Amino acid sequence: MMSVPRTPGEESEPRPGAPRPCRTVLDAQGIARASKRMAHEIAERNPGCERLALVAIPAGGVPVAELLSEHLAEIAGRKIPLGVLDVTLYRDDVIGRGTRPVPQRTRMPFSAAGARVVLVEDVVFTGRTVRAAMDAVLDFGRPEVIQIASLVDRGHRELPIQVDFVGKNIPTARAERVELRRSAAGEYEVVVT
């Protein structure tokens, strides 16, 4: 579903009660292409995929990491370790939000010590989630290096976090929401509302 493209950076305040306008910025094919390219970039930056490990930040980072894992497996000729790391308990903004969110499953089947860790997100925004994820990863051992891969970088950083491997840069207004979700047809897509 495509709607009239808007001038980038324009502040959009939807009328209260009106349904928020929604535009797809990455459809299923776009995601496939982007993740393939990102996988190649990761392999390039990490020669031979030696000691490479993917750590997905749930929930959105998981499908992205799975895609990357598939492509990297083809490139490297073997499976790359894949972990899922819930960062709810490391966030700095959980207090005062009202009801606490229930943390999701963490599965870290390998030690991060000496690993070349790639944190995988779907959307990087203020950078706070990634910062929490870095703290969490460090509790699993001292990695050789931490890199960040994200399907979407939408800007508006509040912390000095840079994304090493981006699927797509999407300029947005602060008030807008960007999310990875499944379409009616069951395919993944990234939409801005």
Residues that bind other proteins (CB under 8 A): 86, 88-90, 94-100, 102-106, 108, 111, 135-136, 139-141
Minimum distance of other proteins from residue 86's CB (angstroms)? 6
Complex with other proteins: residue 103 or 127, whichever CB lies closer: 103
Minimum distance of other proteins from residue 96's CB (angstroms)? 5
Minimum distance of other proteins from residue 102's CB (angstroms)? 5
Q: Are 76 and 43 in contact (CB under 8 A)?
A: yes
Minimum distance of other proteins from residue 55's CB (angstroms)? 14
Q: How far apart are CA 94 and CA 41, in angstroms?
A: 34
Complex with other proteins: residue 74 or 135, whichever CB lies closer: 135
Q: How far apart are CA 7 and CA 172, in angstroms?
A: 10
Q: Are 152 and 168 in contact (CB under 8 A)?
A: yes
Apex CA 62: angle with CA 146 and CA 25, to 5°?
100
Q: Are 138 and 108 in contact (CB under 8 A)?
A: no
Complex with other proteins: residue 86 or 121, whichever CB lies closer: 86
